[in-house]
């Protein structure tokens, strides 16, 4: 190959790579700026001890897709972030060796639309709120999380995050405990999560052990603007 042609091709590859990286950084910055502009706060700024692993910034979720890109920080409404800090303090007081591990928080509707496009007209459509209607996550008032060791090892809750089956639903826990499909320790771990979250003012839901609302959807609509 002609050396000049090879050099030009290499320069082109490097330029494309550089532009792609710059675009990724811009997208991350734009998303974070958007969240901050709407008055949301980075939860680790208020409670540095809380661990964050945004599952939708990875492919380790039921979508099998990364919809957040390079975003690694979790944002919530200020009041909700304070409540989460209170839940974390309650956990640490009772169990210094444990911490909260957050999987998702405020979710812009632009991300909700990406998620909706992946599930619409599939068997998992019911697991993602229609973006036209929105979800409590879209108002920065819901959080998905678990409990982990201080080293980041998640406790055994009987199912993984984003497991959409009866085994993940708190309303069936006693039934599955009696059937031997959930262990006493798994139930104990779930109850500890619910205890610290509800004592801090969050509301658990009956179909996902990891999801907690700071306020009902009806209240979220009146208190906050949807995050676009």
Question: Which is more confidently placed, 30 or 189?
Answer: 189
Predicted confidence (pLDDT) at residue 40 exceeds the cutoff of 90: yes
Cβ-contact 93, 43 below 8 angstroms? no
Sequence-separated (6 or more) residues with CB below 8 Å from residue 208: 144, 168, 169
Predicted confidence (pLDDT) at residue 23 exceeds the cutoff of 60: no
**pLDDT, average across residues 81-93:** 98
What are 52-77's pLDDT values in tens digits? 999 999 999 999 999 999 999 999 99
**% of the chain exceeding 90 in pLDDT:** 84
**pLDDT, average across residues 97-117:** 97
Q: Which CATH number fits domain 39-223: 3.30.1380.10, 3.60.40.10, 3.90.480.20, 3.30.1780.10?
A: 3.30.1380.10
Residue 216 pLDDT level (bands cut at 50, 70, 90)? very high
The Cα–Cα gap between 14 and 8 comes to 10
Residue 30 pLDDT level (bands cut at 50, 70, 90)? confident
What is the predicted pLDDT for the residue at 14? 38
Nearest of 154, 163, 206 to residue 181 by alpha carbon: 163
Question: What b-and-e string marks burial along 30-45, b requiring 16 or more CB atoms within 10 Å of the CB?
Answer: ebbeebeebebbbbbe
Predicted confidence (pLDDT) at residue 21 exceeds the cutoff of 60: no
Q: Is 198 helix (H, G, I), strand (E, B) or coil?
A: helix
**Strand ranges in 48-206 using DSSP code E only, listed in sequence order:** 51-52, 75-76, 98-104, 142-149, 203-204
Mean predicted lDDT score pLDDT of the chain: 90
């Amino acid at each position: 190959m002609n050396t000049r042609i090879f050099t030009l091709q290499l320069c082109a590859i490097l330029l494309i790579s550089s532009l792609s990286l710059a675009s990724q950084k811009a997208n991350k910055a734009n998303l974070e700026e958007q969240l901050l502009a709407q008055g949301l706060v980075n939860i680790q700024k208020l409670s540095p001890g809380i661990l964050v692993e945004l599952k939708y910034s990875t492919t380790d979720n039921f979508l099998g897709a990364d919809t957040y890109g390079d975003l690694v920080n979790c944002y919530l409404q200020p009041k909700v972030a304070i409540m989460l800090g209170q839940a974390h303090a309650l956990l640490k007081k009772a169990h210094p060796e444990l911490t909260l591990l957050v999987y998702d928080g405020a979710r812009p509707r632009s991300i909700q639309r990406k998620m909706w496009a992946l599930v619409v007209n599939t068997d998992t459509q019911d697991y993602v709120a229609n973006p036209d209607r929105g979800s409590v996550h879209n108002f920065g008032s819901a959080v998905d999380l678990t409990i982990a060791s201080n080293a980041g090892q998640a406790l055994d809750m009987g199912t993984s995050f984003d497991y959409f089956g009866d085994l993940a639903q708190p309303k069936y826990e006693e039934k599955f405990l009696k059937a031997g499909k959930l262990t006493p320790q798994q139930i104990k771990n779930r109850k500890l999560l619910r205890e610290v979250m509800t004592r801090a003012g969050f509301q658990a839901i009956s179909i996902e052990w990891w999801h907690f609302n700071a306020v009902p959807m009806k209240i979220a609509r009146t208190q906050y603007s949807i995050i676009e």
